[in-house]
Structure 1
Amino acid sequence: MGEIIALSVGKPKSFLWKGKNESSGIGKGKVSIAELTKNGFVGDGVANLEHHGGPERAVCVYSFEHYKQWEKEFNVKLSLPALGENLCVSGMLEKDVYIGDVYSLGNAVVQVTQGRVPCSTISKFNDIDVFLKRIVETNYTGYFFKVLQEGTVQADGKLELIERTQDKVSILYANQIFLHDKKNKAGLKDLLEVNELAYVWRQKIEKLLVKNI
């Protein structure tokens, strides 16, 4: 069971980063309650529809436990949600969460689809140049849910595991293969064997396998 530490939503805003205006949905605000639809939380949004959002990336999740490491490593105090996550949760680390896992979330039901592929916006938003690099190196990326059943989510709620469809490909393992070990044919095939894997990851992995033949 996971515990919600912060529930956050927000529409894209314009930020001035190093003299350049950029639009991003990373600057979310904490709320006490939110309606969850197949396309994400009501009141939430993304700026780059090619790399963010969509039904298979409806909810972005990040582990609260990682915040302590980042604060110590960068000697800063981070305000939730520093990584633009909808749900900051405890008890659900990447090593313990598996692609295909089904959770109850309030009266909604969600399923894990892929690890998050972080971008430079995280570094820019927090003014920490090496943040993105360290997230990728550690595989502490967070992950995404798709919504199987729409419902209402409260900030003081919990996530309860309803079903585990497989116990081989955790988010941590998937990240290691997808981000660092793209020539590992056995690992890539492990990911493809997970029926619940997000379509965008499946496409990329299939291309990698063809390239590696």
Structure 2
Amino acid sequence: MIRLEHVCVVHQVIPDAGRVGRTAIDKRPVDGPVEVGPLHLAGDAICDTKNHGGRFRAVYVVSDEDAAVVERMLGRTPPVGWLGENFRVSGVSMSDVLLGERWRIGDCVIAFTEPRVPCSTFARWVREESWVRRFADLGHPGGLAEVITPGVVRGGLPIEVVHRPDHGLTIGEAFRPSMPPDKAAALLATYAPEDIQPDMLRKARAAAGRVADPG
């Protein structure tokens, strides 16, 4: 069974040496109900609105199973929320979740849109210059999601998988440098272009082109 273990929102906005000058990556679990709106969680903050938040990146989900992979590499156990996640779940590796898969949590429904891509802000938070490459090499990035139905969630709720699309493209496969061409083509056939996260749309089109032109 998949379960929502913790709901996390920003603990504090901290200074950052990047373009924006600050970051809200410092998330911490909160007790009690939290409202999930169309673009973000109540009590959360988004500083870099160019690369975070918005329709397709409203919620970031990490599982205990994937966090454990990161912890083994680090040789320590960071607190929940340290990866910048909004939802910490258990019972699944996020890399096995499909793009477009929908979860119902309480009265909220989310749909997964893309893997989390590590950035320089993340590396500065970890204080390791090679972090982007090391995190990417693990292949357990967690998943970003859009909010289909806003609602209220709290830690401890069961998660119901209410839809799994037929294209078969997982978050883990979408995170790789190149998607499987047949699954990329199936993704494009499943959704209208405006319903695919733009970065994923470009990547899928590039991969699917290899099916039409294998040479």
Q: Residues 62-88 of structure 1: CA distance to partner in whole angstroms, max 9, x if unpaired?
A: 121122232222222311111101011
Within-5 A mapping of 1:33-52 = 33-52=33-52
Q: Please list the CA deviations of residues 98-117 of structure 1 after superposition, one character each: whole Å capped at 9, or x if unmatched.
A: 11111111111111111112
More strand by share: 1
Deviates further, 71-80 or 193-202: 193-202
Aligned to 1:189: 185
Structure 2 vs 1, CA of residues 116 and 70 (structure 1 numbering), >3 Å: closer, same or farther? Answer: closer
Structure 2: where are the runs of 5+ without partners? none
Q: Is the 8 A contact 1:169 1:191 kept in 2?
A: yes
Q: Deviations over 1:113-162 (max 9, x none)?
A: 11112212222212233332122112211111211111110012121111
Conserved? CA contact 1:24–1:48, under 8 Å: yes
Asked if the contact 2:178/2:203 (under 8 Å) is kept, the reply is no
Shift of 1:95: 3.7
Aligned to 1:23: 22
Written as runs of structure 1 = structure 2, the 5 A alignment for 1:82-93 is 82-93=82-93
Partner in structure 2 of residue 175 of structure 1: 175
CA distance in 1, matches of 2:119, 2:16: 17
Label 1:22 to 1:31 Cα distance change in 2 as closer, same or farther (>3 A). Answer: same
Taking the aligned partners of 1:43 and 1:103, their CA distance within structure 2 comes to 22
Q: Deviations over 1:25-74 (max 9, x none)?
A: 10112112210111121111211111110021111001211222322222
By how many angstroms is 1:187 displaced?
5.2
Counterparts of 1:146 and 1:21 in 2: how far apart (Å)?
A: 24
> RMSD of the TM alignment (CA)?
2.8
Which residue does 1:151 correspond to in 2?
A: 151
Where structure 1 has 5 or more consecutive residues not aligned to the other structure, the ranges are: none
Q: CA distance change for structure 1 residues 34 and 52 in 2, over 3 Å: closer, same or farther?
A: same
Structure 1 position 136 matched with structure 2 position 136 = yes
Answer whether contact 2:181 2:209 (CA < 8 A) is retained: no
State whether structure 2 residue 55 is matched by structure 1 residue 55.
yes
**Structure 1 length-normalised TM:** 0.83
What's the CA shift string for 1:161-213, capped at 9, x where partnerless? 1121225111111112xxx127x654543442341763312442367469987
Tell me what 1:204 maps to: 202
Say whether residues 1:65 and 2:62 are aligned partners: no
**Identical residues among aligned pairs (%):** 23
Report the secondary structure of 2:111's partner residue.
Answer: strand
Amino acid aligned to 2:178: D
